[in-house]
């Protein structure tokens, strides 16, 4: 308990120190994803770091000679702490950083339902979850078009199984924001 309290106090102190410096990241950013429909909210918490929460959907299709064919669309929730590390280099090269355009490292937590919200393909487990560490790049055009790619190792588990794998994400979307 004492270690947890010390950790939380240190985290608060670090975040409050970062909050006093000018931010390179957006204070608040809301984006819509089109590749796999979803929404992302990203809040700046220090000069180069954000907290990102995402609600999206996943798609699965199964065609089999032994089981019934089926498809399913599943809700997915993701949470990340993103540390953007190349803003200064981008600015020195004359490139923009608005819309949190940069490369980042992010611990990631993701949870997916095993029950389809649309379709007939339900998994035996009621949920899937994973946590890992991803390398990502995000680019936002001046008019708001955005793409994001992420990859990294992760630990996945559900009610019946667990193991290591690769967390991958590709997003295309649009940022809903004022021009900075």
Q: Are 68 and 83 in contact (CB under 8 A)?
A: no
The confidence band for 178, taking pLDDT boundaries of 50, 70 and 90, is low
User: What does each C-alpha distance from 62 to 67, 119, 121 come to in angstroms?
Assistant: 9, 11, 8
Residue-level pLDDT at 66: 74
Q: What is the pLDDT of residues 122-176, one digit of tens each?
A: 788 899 999 999 999 999 998 899 999 999 999 999 999 999 999 999 999 999 9
What DSSP character marks residue 160? S
Q: Are 139 and 146 in contact (CB under 8 A)?
A: yes
Residue-level pLDDT at 23: 85
Residue-level pLDDT at 136: 97
What CATH class has 23-176?
mainly beta
Q: What is the pLDDT of residues 55-88, one digit of tens each?
A: 999 888 877 777 777 888 999 999 999 999 999 8
pLDDT at 20 over 90: no
How far is the C-alpha of 80 from the C-alpha of 157, rounded, in Å?
18
Q: Are 74 and 60 in contact (CB under 8 A)?
A: yes
Looking at the DSSP bridge assignments, the partners of residue 115 are none
Q: What is the pLDDT of residues 85-122, one digit of tens each?
A: 999 899 899 888 988 999 999 999 999 998 889 988 87
Taking each continuous run of H as one helix and of E as one strand, the counts in the chain are 2, 9
Residue-level pLDDT at 45: 95
Q: Are 116 and 73 in contact (CB under 8 A)?
A: yes
């Amino acid at each position: 308990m004492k270690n947890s309290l010390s950790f939380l106090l240190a985290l608060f102190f670090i975040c409050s120190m970062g909050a006093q410096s000018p931010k390179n990241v957006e204070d608040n950013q809301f984006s819509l994803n089109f590749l796999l429909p979803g929404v992302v909210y990203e809040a700046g918490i220090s000069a180069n770091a954000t907290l990102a929460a995402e609600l999206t959907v996943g798609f699965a299709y199964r065609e089999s000679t032994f089981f019934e064919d089926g498809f399913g669309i599943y809700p997915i929730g993701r949470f990340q702490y993103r540390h953007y590390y190349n803003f200064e280099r981008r600015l020195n090269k004359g490139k923009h950083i608005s819309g949190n355009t940069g490369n980042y490292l992010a611990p990631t937590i993701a949870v997916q339902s095993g029950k389809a919200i649309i379709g007939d393909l339900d998994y035996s487990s009621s949920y899937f979850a994973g946590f890992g560490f991803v390398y990502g790049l995000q680019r936002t055009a001046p008019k708001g078009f955005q793409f994001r790619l992420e990859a990294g190792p992760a630990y996945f588990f559900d009610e019946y199984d667990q193991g290591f794998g690769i967390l991958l994400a590709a997003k295309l979307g649009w940022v809903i924001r004022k021009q900075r």
